[in-house]
Amino acid sequence: MTAPMRTSHSWPAEPGPGRRALLGSGVGATLAGGAAVANAAAPRAASSDDGESPAGAGRGDDGAEVMPFFGPRQAGVATPPPAHTRWVALDLAKGASLDDLRRILRIWTEDMGRLTQGRPMLADHAPELSQDPRFLTVSVALGRSAFERVGRDDLAPAWLGDLPPFATDALQDRWSGGDIVLQIGSQSPTTCAHAHRSLVTGAGAAVRPRWVQAGYRRPSERPRWTAERNAMGQVDGTVQPVLDGPDDHLIWRGAEDGIWSGASTLVLRRIAMNLDTWESLDPAAKENAIGRRLSDGAPLTGGGEHTPPDLTATTGSGLPVIDPGSHMRRAMPRAAHERFLRRPYSYEETHDLSGGPLEAKDTHRSPHGLLFAAYCADAERQFVPVQRRLAEQDLLNIWTRAVGSCVAAVLPGVEPGEHLGESVLA
Amino acid sequence: MTAPMRTSHSWPAEPGPGRRALLGSGVGATLAGGAAVANAAAPRAASSDDGESPAGAGRGDDGAEVMPFFGPRQAGVATPPPAHTRWVALDLAKGASLDDLRRILRIWTEDMGRLTQGRPMLADHAPELSQDPRFLTVSVALGRSAFERVGRDDLAPAWLGDLPPFATDALQDRWSGGDIVLQIGSQSPTTCAHAHRSLVTGAGAAVRPRWVQAGYRRPSERPRWTAERNAMGQVDGTVQPVLDGPDDHLIWRGAEDGIWSGASTLVLRRIAMNLDTWESLDPAAKENAIGRRLSDGAPLTGGGEHTPPDLTATTGSGLPVIDPGSHMRRAMPRAAHERFLRRPYSYEETHDLSGGPLEAKDTHRSPHGLLFAAYCADAERQFVPVQRRLAEQDLLNIWTRAVGSCVAAVLPGVEPGEHLGESVLA
């Protein structure tokens, strides 16, 4: 472990709590990016009064468990995360036109409107598999390359850019990029698989599969916003913005964006974890690297999971209790705008578990890791400063490595009669 | 489709219902092997009064959801199937001795007894991940090659043999065989992953990973014995033997086996499904191939899922309603002993979904399919006749292909103070 670097920071003027308020309020952070609430002592669960039930979710006529499809924002971002989610990247076929892209989105809108409600699609090849949505949501996002592919860069929003390179990345093409990214989530892997097949088939020869990344959370009866342990044992996802309220501007494009109002940015980072070297650490070393207790996710300065950390506390020998290089301390926002929504999922490439134990240099080859999905209005402004700080210094970098990266614009939602992308691809 | 072959059969004398009773009682069958109940009109759920709650399952002191570990038979066979199960094949390292094998089993018995109850193992490297068992079961089975590897073929039971080759197989080494097969099941993939890593790590250099096959069922609040749709949309798992009762001899080795009493045989077949060609069929053709309705799993001769099929019924033009080559008809037992327990799980190789649509010749390359896990006292006597009949003729063979196969002896259960394999490897 190298000593943490000291860096100086400047912040643009930002409405909301100032630096001191943020640093002192105990905003926390988790693996590979910080997201925080303005009032961290009482984080409010997204879209829900009790933090457990999906807002707006209901039961269809046949008792199926469904999430709403129509609305100004797509479901699957601020709705509670289900047990299984997969991200499916597709590239437009060579020579595809804007009309092809529009046609695909029109078909998908129709199909998504039915599948998410537990109804067979038109000309469904397996209608018996379409009737168990289990809170299915499908969210559609476009990478900047989609606009380039159809020769209409001019339609891409200015806020949709690539991430800069980070020194700690070991990105592989096979997990990166993509013209179109579908996010498919449900309590049931069977449902995810069927929706996935149906939508890709429905797009026909105009798209080519690029990659699929499937992840899981611990199961619960219904989707819910709760922190849970990732594969390293770390309690991950404690701190989130307040949804459907004052933090909306952190996640969604606003009315001032006109046709892009209701859009968001997906940043999906595939973070490989070297569990072999990590698990050889003693618990104290793990907790020092994280900055939180393994047992309950509380800061090392005490309290519970939601207690603010005391960054000024020192040990008897004068060392900081919370290591300056700890992940929590490096990832926590240093300005109010360095916050975003996260839906992290664990992944495991079970087909690839036949290797021997990993050495430190092999982290990028690990079959275990985290699909770190972040959602923000502006990735460059909100996500990049945090990721840059983590790339500079984060004790967890010893055991983690980003092996995939993708940025895409989550399209605005639709009302009945509209189709996805209708306004922004006009 | 070729016409079904007519074959003649002879059956050894068998206690229980005779041929006529079986054929007339509506015993059903499902993909790749038939299992039936003696009284198919009222199949009794295994190990459960209501068919939904795991028998003997309880909650630990901390509210964790646990399955019993100790008993004359290992959990994970006749206990209700959880949402996720993986089979992990390991080979003993070159030069491994019987003592090495015994040592591994001793360590695992200790670790399994703790993990399944939500308690950290001794010297647990990630105790915080060991406390959420979610009905975790781990079952240990030995392939015949394990006995050969340690130079003690004489200890292998006579009833543990390889399957004969079947003309319809396209077996791959990467999904076949294995000295040791761990079966790890839980409602939570996180729990499965942690138990898997912990046990393999605990075995040390004496084992080498061979393959991992992970599958899923639709989620339910608790593990339960219910039929559910496989990836082809077929209702699969309707018919099972009666557990903990008169059919025990079909699944378990009995008292007459002495040290092997309480053992079983696992037959794991990896069956690739060509969903691209299958989904291009119209529903009537699919139902004809299966012999049951897609909508509810009822036989094509009517009634509900559990109604006996009328194999003599004909259409107005004199053709049988249930095609003689249909999967149900070919797979259904033609003798009382041609029955076994099934725990089928769907699989999907999401990392491998980047190919184009599959043609008929590509079925063996499909990333979708079924992990068909059968349990019986004697695979040669119970499983092989059914599989031989299916290899001869089964309309579903057009869309399915066995790409992996493995047979292993599920060790007898243990009581406190004993360790797995203690009696049979003495």
Chain A positions touching B349 (Cβ under 8 A) are: 351
Q: State both tokens at A368.
A: 């275990």
Listed by number, the residues of chain A in 269-288 with a beta carbon closer than 8 Å to a beta carbon of chain B are 275, 279-280
Residue that the structure tokens 């080859």 belong to: A365
Q: ipTM of the predicted structure?
A: 0.87
B390: Cβ–Cβ under 8 A, 6 or more apart, which residues?
Answer: B32, B33, B166, B168, B327, B330, B331, B397
Look at residues B126, B323, B425, B331 and name the one whose alpha carbon lies nearest to residue A275: B126
**pLDDT in the model for residue B30:** 41
One pLDDT digit (tens) per residue for chain A, 426 residues: 333 222 233 223 333 333 233 333 333 344 433 333 333 322 343 333 344 444 455 554 455 699 999 999 999 999 999 999 999 999 999 999 999 999 999 999 999 999 999 999 998 989 999 999 999 999 999 999 999 999 999 999 999 999 999 999 999 999 999 999 999 999 999 999 999 999 999 999 999 999 999 999 999 989 999 888 999 999 988 889 999 899 999 999 999 999 999 999 999 999 999 999 999 999 999 999 999 999 999 999 999 999 999 999 999 999 999 999 999 999 999 999 999 999 999 999 988 777 778 999 999 999 999 999 999 999 999 999 999 999 999 999 999 999 999 999 999 999 999 999 999 999
Q: Do residues B235 and B307 make contact, with C-beta atoms less than 8 angstroms apart?
A: no
Q: Mark yes or no for CB contact B193/A221 under 8 Å.
A: no
Token pair for residue A124?
């469904």
List the 116-135 stretch of A: residues with Cβ below 8 A of B: 125-126, 128-129, 132, 134
Which residue on chain A is closest to B355 by alpha carbon? A209
Q: Which of B134, B190, B196 sits opposite A346 (nearest CB)?
A: B190
CA separation, residue A60 to residues A57, A64, A189, B207 (Å) = 10, 5, 20, 50
Q: How far apart are CA A267 and CA B120, in angstroms?
A: 36
**What are the extents of the domains in chain A?**
19-410
Tens-binned pLDDT, residue by residue, of chain B (426 aa): 333 222 233 223 333 333 233 333 333 344 433 333 333 322 343 333 344 444 455 554 455 699 999 999 999 999 999 999 999 999 999 999 999 999 999 999 999 999 999 999 998 989 999 999 999 999 999 999 999 999 999 999 999 999 999 999 999 999 999 999 999 999 999 999 999 999 999 999 999 999 999 999 999 989 999 888 999 999 988 889 999 899 999 999 999 999 999 999 999 999 999 999 999 999 999 999 999 999 999 999 999 999 999 999 999 999 999 999 999 999 999 999 999 999 999 999 988 777 778 999 999 999 999 999 999 999 999 999 999 999 999 999 999 999 999 999 999 999 999 999 999 999
What is the pairing mode between strands A264-273 and A368-376?
Answer: antiparallel
Distance from CA of B406 to the nearest CA of A (A): 17
Tell me the pLDDT of chain A averaged across its residues. 87
Q: Which chain B residues are within 8 Å of A212, Cβ to Cβ?
A: 350-351, 353-354
Query: Quick one: chain A helix, strand, coil %, rounded to 5?
Result: 25, 20, 55
What whole-number distance in Å separates Cα of residue B136 and Cα of residue B121?
14
